[in-house]
Amino acid sequence: MKLALAGAGAFGRKHLEGIDAIDGAEVISVIDPVSNTAREVAEEFGITHWGTELDEALNVDEVDAVILATPTPMHARQSIACMEAGKHVEVEIPLADSLAEAEAVLATQERSGLVAMVGHTRRFNPSHQWLRSKLQAGELNIQQMDVQTYFFRRTNTNALGKPRSWTDHLLWHHAAHTVDLFAYQVGEEIVAANVLEGPHHPELGIAMDMSIQMKTSGGSILTLSLSFNNDGPFGTFFRYIGDSGTYIARYDDLFTGRDEPIDVSHVDVSMNGIELQDREFIAAIREGREPNSSVRQVMSCYKWLHKLEQQLRS
Protein backbone atom coordinates (compact mmCIF):
# COMPACT_ATOMS: atom_id res chain seq x y z
CA MET A 1 0.00 0.00 0.00
CA LYS A 2 1.59 3.27 -1.13
CA LEU A 3 0.32 6.49 0.39
CA ALA A 4 0.81 10.22 0.13
CA LEU A 5 0.59 12.60 3.08
CA ALA A 6 -0.59 16.17 2.62
CA GLY A 7 0.22 18.44 5.55
CA ALA A 8 3.55 17.87 7.29
CA GLY A 9 2.71 19.64 10.54
CA ALA A 10 2.17 18.23 14.02
CA PHE A 11 -0.50 15.68 13.08
CA GLY A 12 1.05 14.89 9.73
CA ARG A 13 4.13 13.71 11.58
CA LYS A 14 1.98 11.57 13.87
CA HIS A 15 0.56 9.82 10.81
CA LEU A 16 4.05 9.25 9.38
CA GLU A 17 5.11 7.66 12.67
CA GLY A 18 1.97 5.51 12.66
CA ILE A 19 2.46 4.30 9.07
CA ASP A 20 6.08 3.40 9.88
CA ALA A 21 4.73 0.80 12.33
CA ILE A 22 2.41 -0.85 9.77
CA ASP A 23 3.79 -3.72 7.68
CA GLY A 24 3.17 -3.44 3.97
CA ALA A 25 2.35 0.27 4.04
CA GLU A 26 4.64 3.07 2.89
CA VAL A 27 4.35 6.82 2.46
CA ILE A 28 6.02 7.68 -0.86
CA SER A 29 5.08 11.37 -1.16
CA VAL A 30 4.89 14.29 1.27
CA ILE A 31 3.11 17.53 0.41
CA ASP A 32 3.27 20.78 2.35
CA PRO A 33 2.80 24.36 1.13
CA VAL A 34 6.10 25.33 2.78
CA SER A 35 8.73 23.73 0.55
CA ASN A 36 11.40 23.60 3.26
CA THR A 37 9.01 21.75 5.58
CA ALA A 38 8.04 19.25 2.89
CA ARG A 39 11.67 18.58 2.00
CA GLU A 40 12.89 18.33 5.61
CA VAL A 41 10.12 15.95 6.67
CA ALA A 42 10.61 13.82 3.54
CA GLU A 43 14.32 13.54 4.26
CA GLU A 44 13.73 12.72 7.93
CA PHE A 45 11.37 9.85 7.07
CA GLY A 46 13.28 8.62 4.01
CA ILE A 47 10.60 9.65 1.49
CA THR A 48 11.89 10.42 -1.98
CA HIS A 49 9.02 12.48 -3.42
CA TRP A 50 7.91 15.78 -1.95
CA GLY A 51 6.12 18.88 -3.20
CA THR A 52 4.01 21.90 -2.30
CA GLU A 53 0.74 21.13 -4.14
CA LEU A 54 -1.65 18.21 -3.59
CA ASP A 55 -1.88 17.64 -7.37
CA GLU A 56 1.80 16.69 -7.35
CA ALA A 57 0.96 13.63 -5.24
CA LEU A 58 -2.29 12.86 -7.04
CA ASN A 59 -0.37 12.65 -10.30
CA VAL A 60 1.92 9.93 -8.93
CA ASP A 61 0.46 6.71 -10.37
CA GLU A 62 1.88 4.54 -7.59
CA VAL A 63 -0.07 6.42 -4.89
CA ASP A 64 -3.04 4.29 -3.80
CA ALA A 65 -4.37 6.54 -1.06
CA VAL A 66 -3.92 9.94 0.56
CA ILE A 67 -3.94 11.08 4.18
CA LEU A 68 -4.97 14.72 4.57
CA ALA A 69 -3.63 16.56 7.62
CA THR A 70 -4.14 19.97 6.08
CA PRO A 71 -5.98 23.10 7.35
CA THR A 72 -9.68 22.57 8.08
CA PRO A 73 -11.00 24.85 5.29
CA MET A 74 -9.27 22.60 2.71
CA HIS A 75 -10.58 19.25 3.95
CA ALA A 76 -13.75 18.86 1.89
CA ARG A 77 -12.32 20.21 -1.36
CA GLN A 78 -9.16 18.13 -1.08
CA SER A 79 -11.07 14.96 -0.13
CA ILE A 80 -13.17 15.33 -3.26
CA ALA A 81 -10.06 15.98 -5.38
CA CYS A 82 -8.43 12.79 -4.08
CA MET A 83 -11.44 10.64 -4.94
CA GLU A 84 -11.85 12.28 -8.33
CA ALA A 85 -8.22 11.31 -8.99
CA GLY A 86 -9.06 7.69 -8.08
CA LYS A 87 -7.34 7.74 -4.68
CA HIS A 88 -8.77 6.49 -1.39
CA VAL A 89 -8.70 9.22 1.25
CA GLU A 90 -8.41 9.58 5.01
CA VAL A 91 -9.04 13.15 6.12
CA GLU A 92 -8.19 14.47 9.55
CA ILE A 93 -11.04 15.76 11.67
CA PRO A 94 -13.17 17.69 10.88
CA LEU A 95 -14.48 16.39 7.58
CA ALA A 96 -15.63 19.94 6.77
CA ASP A 97 -16.63 23.17 8.46
CA SER A 98 -20.12 23.19 6.97
CA LEU A 99 -22.82 20.57 6.45
CA ALA A 100 -23.09 21.33 2.72
CA GLU A 101 -19.41 20.55 2.18
CA ALA A 102 -19.61 17.37 4.27
CA GLU A 103 -22.56 16.19 2.18
CA ALA A 104 -20.62 16.93 -1.01
CA VAL A 105 -17.81 14.64 0.18
CA LEU A 106 -20.30 11.87 0.95
CA ALA A 107 -21.87 12.22 -2.49
CA THR A 108 -18.45 11.87 -4.12
CA GLN A 109 -17.64 8.79 -2.04
CA GLU A 110 -20.93 7.12 -2.95
CA ARG A 111 -20.39 7.90 -6.63
CA SER A 112 -16.77 6.69 -6.68
CA GLY A 113 -17.05 3.67 -4.37
CA LEU A 114 -13.65 4.53 -2.89
CA VAL A 115 -12.76 4.33 0.80
CA ALA A 116 -13.26 7.71 2.47
CA MET A 117 -12.57 7.86 6.19
CA VAL A 118 -12.51 10.69 8.73
CA GLY A 119 -9.98 10.93 11.56
CA HIS A 120 -12.35 10.54 14.50
CA THR A 121 -9.47 9.12 16.52
CA ARG A 122 -11.45 8.67 19.74
CA ARG A 123 -13.14 5.63 18.18
CA PHE A 124 -9.71 3.99 18.04
CA ASN A 125 -8.00 4.99 21.30
CA PRO A 126 -7.54 1.81 23.41
CA SER A 127 -9.19 3.56 26.37
CA HIS A 128 -12.44 4.16 24.49
CA GLN A 129 -12.26 0.74 22.81
CA TRP A 130 -12.07 -0.90 26.26
CA LEU A 131 -15.15 1.00 27.38
CA ARG A 132 -17.01 0.20 24.15
CA SER A 133 -16.52 -3.52 24.83
CA LYS A 134 -18.15 -3.14 28.25
CA LEU A 135 -20.96 -1.05 26.79
CA GLN A 136 -21.72 -3.52 24.00
CA ALA A 137 -21.63 -6.44 26.46
CA GLY A 138 -24.23 -4.69 28.63
CA GLU A 139 -21.81 -4.44 31.55
CA LEU A 140 -22.01 -0.64 31.61
CA ASN A 141 -24.63 1.92 30.61
CA ILE A 142 -23.75 5.59 30.25
CA GLN A 143 -25.76 7.95 32.44
CA GLN A 144 -23.64 10.97 31.58
CA MET A 145 -20.51 11.64 29.57
CA ASP A 146 -18.79 14.68 31.06
CA VAL A 147 -16.05 16.04 28.78
CA GLN A 148 -13.56 18.89 29.05
CA THR A 149 -11.70 20.11 25.95
CA TYR A 150 -9.25 22.73 27.14
CA PHE A 151 -6.43 24.70 25.53
CA PHE A 152 -4.63 27.97 26.16
CA ARG A 153 -4.68 29.36 22.64
CA ARG A 154 -5.24 33.11 22.41
CA THR A 155 -3.13 33.48 19.27
CA ASN A 156 -3.35 31.74 15.91
CA THR A 157 -0.89 28.91 16.59
CA ASN A 158 -0.85 25.16 16.00
CA ALA A 159 -0.16 22.27 18.38
CA LEU A 160 3.57 22.92 18.06
CA GLY A 161 3.13 26.59 18.97
CA LYS A 162 3.90 27.77 15.44
CA PRO A 163 1.87 30.44 13.58
CA ARG A 164 -0.71 29.21 11.09
CA SER A 165 -2.76 30.77 8.33
CA TRP A 166 -6.22 29.52 9.34
CA THR A 167 -8.33 29.74 12.48
CA ASP A 168 -9.30 26.72 14.58
CA HIS A 169 -12.90 26.30 15.77
CA LEU A 170 -14.31 24.88 19.00
CA LEU A 171 -17.58 23.72 17.39
CA TRP A 172 -16.61 22.32 13.98
CA HIS A 173 -13.28 20.83 15.07
CA HIS A 174 -13.00 20.10 18.77
CA ALA A 175 -16.65 19.39 19.54
CA ALA A 176 -16.80 17.02 16.55
CA HIS A 177 -14.61 14.49 18.40
CA THR A 178 -16.98 14.31 21.35
CA VAL A 179 -20.33 14.58 19.55
CA ASP A 180 -19.39 11.62 17.34
CA LEU A 181 -17.96 9.56 20.21
CA PHE A 182 -20.99 10.15 22.44
CA ALA A 183 -23.49 8.71 19.94
CA TYR A 184 -21.04 5.95 18.91
CA GLN A 185 -20.46 4.74 22.47
CA VAL A 186 -24.05 5.00 23.67
CA GLY A 187 -25.29 3.37 20.46
CA GLU A 188 -28.33 5.62 20.25
CA GLU A 189 -29.47 8.59 18.19
CA ILE A 190 -29.02 12.08 19.60
CA VAL A 191 -32.47 13.64 19.98
CA ALA A 192 -31.82 16.99 21.69
CA ALA A 193 -28.99 19.48 21.93
CA ASN A 194 -28.23 22.95 23.27
CA VAL A 195 -25.22 25.22 22.89
CA LEU A 196 -23.94 28.44 24.45
CA GLU A 197 -20.82 30.38 23.53
CA GLY A 198 -18.78 33.07 25.22
CA PRO A 199 -17.42 36.30 23.71
CA HIS A 200 -15.67 36.18 20.35
CA HIS A 201 -11.97 36.98 20.18
CA PRO A 202 -11.52 40.52 18.78
CA GLU A 203 -8.89 39.40 16.25
CA LEU A 204 -9.54 35.69 15.64
CA GLY A 205 -13.30 36.22 15.33
CA ILE A 206 -14.19 32.92 17.04
CA ALA A 207 -15.79 32.00 20.36
CA MET A 208 -13.11 31.20 22.92
CA ASP A 209 -15.46 29.32 25.26
CA MET A 210 -18.40 27.03 24.56
CA SER A 211 -20.80 24.73 26.41
CA ILE A 212 -22.79 21.93 24.74
CA GLN A 213 -25.48 19.63 26.15
CA MET A 214 -26.92 16.60 24.35
CA LYS A 215 -29.34 13.76 25.05
CA THR A 216 -29.88 10.41 23.32
CA SER A 217 -33.13 8.57 22.68
CA GLY A 218 -32.49 6.36 25.72
CA GLY A 219 -31.84 9.25 28.09
CA SER A 220 -28.02 9.36 28.27
CA ILE A 221 -26.72 12.92 28.46
CA LEU A 222 -23.54 14.69 27.39
CA THR A 223 -22.05 17.73 29.10
CA LEU A 224 -19.20 19.21 27.04
CA SER A 225 -17.12 22.22 28.06
CA LEU A 226 -14.64 23.70 25.57
CA SER A 227 -12.18 26.57 26.03
CA PHE A 228 -9.21 28.25 24.42
CA ASN A 229 -8.75 30.28 27.64
CA ASN A 230 -7.79 27.52 30.08
CA ASP A 231 -4.39 28.17 31.65
CA GLY A 232 -3.54 24.61 32.66
CA PRO A 233 -3.16 21.08 31.28
CA PHE A 234 -4.48 20.99 27.73
CA GLY A 235 -6.33 18.30 25.82
CA THR A 236 -9.63 16.46 26.07
CA PHE A 237 -10.60 14.40 29.08
CA PHE A 238 -13.66 12.13 29.09
CA ARG A 239 -15.48 11.11 32.27
CA TYR A 240 -17.89 8.23 31.68
CA ILE A 241 -20.42 8.18 34.51
CA GLY A 242 -22.18 4.82 34.28
CA ASP A 243 -24.61 2.68 36.20
CA SER A 244 -21.85 0.30 37.30
CA GLY A 245 -18.77 2.49 37.48
CA THR A 246 -17.04 5.73 36.55
CA TYR A 247 -14.11 5.88 34.15
CA ILE A 248 -11.81 8.64 32.91
CA ALA A 249 -10.24 8.41 29.45
CA ARG A 250 -7.23 10.59 28.72
CA TYR A 251 -6.43 9.87 25.09
CA ASP A 252 -5.06 6.30 24.95
CA ASP A 253 -4.95 5.87 28.75
CA LEU A 254 -7.81 4.90 31.07
CA PHE A 255 -8.45 5.36 34.80
CA THR A 256 -11.22 4.63 37.28
CA GLY A 257 -13.23 7.49 38.72
CA ARG A 258 -10.79 7.43 41.64
CA ASP A 259 -7.87 7.94 39.23
CA GLU A 260 -6.60 4.36 39.45
CA PRO A 261 -4.92 3.26 36.19
CA ILE A 262 -6.52 0.48 34.11
CA ASP A 263 -4.31 -1.66 31.87
CA VAL A 264 -5.60 -1.37 28.29
CA SER A 265 -2.40 -2.54 26.59
CA HIS A 266 -4.13 -5.79 25.53
CA VAL A 267 -7.02 -4.08 23.75
CA ASP A 268 -5.35 -3.73 20.33
CA VAL A 269 -2.02 -4.20 18.57
CA SER A 270 -0.82 -0.74 19.60
CA MET A 271 -1.34 1.90 22.27
CA ASN A 272 -1.25 4.65 19.62
CA GLY A 273 -4.76 5.73 18.58
CA ILE A 274 -3.60 7.45 15.39
CA GLU A 275 -1.66 4.37 14.31
CA LEU A 276 -4.77 2.24 14.95
CA GLN A 277 -6.85 4.69 12.93
CA ASP A 278 -4.37 4.39 10.03
CA ARG A 279 -4.40 0.60 10.33
CA GLU A 280 -8.18 0.62 9.90
CA PHE A 281 -7.91 2.83 6.81
CA ILE A 282 -5.36 0.53 5.16
CA ALA A 283 -7.23 -2.64 6.16
CA ALA A 284 -10.50 -1.30 4.71
CA ILE A 285 -8.81 -0.60 1.37
CA ARG A 286 -7.21 -4.04 1.25
CA GLU A 287 -10.44 -5.80 2.22
CA GLY A 288 -12.71 -3.69 0.01
CA ARG A 289 -15.03 -2.71 2.87
CA GLU A 290 -16.37 0.36 4.63
CA PRO A 291 -14.04 1.51 7.41
CA ASN A 292 -14.99 2.38 10.94
CA SER A 293 -15.36 6.20 10.97
CA SER A 294 -16.30 6.32 7.29
CA VAL A 295 -17.76 9.54 5.91
CA ARG A 296 -21.20 7.92 5.94
CA GLN A 297 -20.93 6.82 9.57
CA VAL A 298 -19.93 10.25 10.89
CA MET A 299 -22.46 12.33 8.95
CA SER A 300 -24.87 12.44 11.90
CA CYS A 301 -22.20 14.29 13.86
CA TYR A 302 -21.90 17.01 11.23
CA LYS A 303 -25.66 17.35 10.96
CA TRP A 304 -25.80 18.07 14.68
CA LEU A 305 -22.90 20.53 14.48
CA HIS A 306 -24.88 22.34 11.79
CA LYS A 307 -27.97 22.43 14.03
CA LEU A 308 -25.88 23.81 16.91
CA GLU A 309 -24.41 26.45 14.63
CA GLN A 310 -27.94 27.46 13.61
CA GLN A 311 -28.83 27.82 17.30
CA LEU A 312 -25.90 30.17 17.81
CA ARG A 313 -26.83 32.27 14.78
CA SER A 314 -30.41 32.65 15.96
Tens-place pLDDT, residues 165-196: 767 899 999 999 999 999 999 999 999 999 99
Q: Which residue segments constitute the domains of the chain, with CATH numbers given?
A: 2-120+274-291 (3.40.50.720), 125-267 (3.30.360.10)
pTM metric for this prediction: 0.95
Report pLDDT for 141: 98
pLDDT attached to residue 29: 98
Average pLDDT over residues 35-52: 97
pLDDT score recorded for residue 240 = 98
pLDDT of residue 153: 81
User: Helices marked H in 45-158 — which ranges?
Assistant: 54-58, 75-84, 99-112, 126-136
Q: What is the pLDDT of residue 164?
A: 67
pLDDT above 80: residue 155: no
Q: For residue 288, what are the CA distances in angstroms to 87, 89, 114, 116, 294?
A: 13, 14, 9, 12, 13
pLDDT band at 163 (very low <50, low <70, confident <90, very high): confident
Q: What is the pLDDT of residues 279-289, one digit of tens each?
A: 999 999 999 99
Residue range 243-260, pLDDT digits in tens: 999 999 999 999 999 999
Q: Per-residue confidence at 234, pLDDT binned at 50, 70, 90?
A: confident
Q: Stretch 8-32: mean pLDDT, rounded? A: 96
pLDDT digits (tens, 9 = 90+) for 129-149: 999 999 999 999 999 999 999
Output the pLDDT for position 125: 98
Question: pLDDT tens-digit profile of 205-225?
Answer: 899 999 999 999 999 999 999
For a pLDDT cut of 70, what percent of the chain falls above it?
A: 98
Q: Of 117, 119, 116, whose CA–CA distance to 94 is shortest?
A: 119
> For residues 90 and 293, what is the distance between their CA atoms, to the nearest angstrom?
10
Q: What pLDDT is attached to residue 251? A: 95
* Stretch 74-92: mean pLDDT: 98
Q: What is the model's pLDDT at position 139? A: 98
* pLDDT at residue 268 in the model: 98
Q: Would you say residue 160 has pLDDT above 70? A: no
- Rg for the chain, CA atoms, rounded: 19
Q: How far apart are CA 162 and CA 189, in angstroms?
A: 39
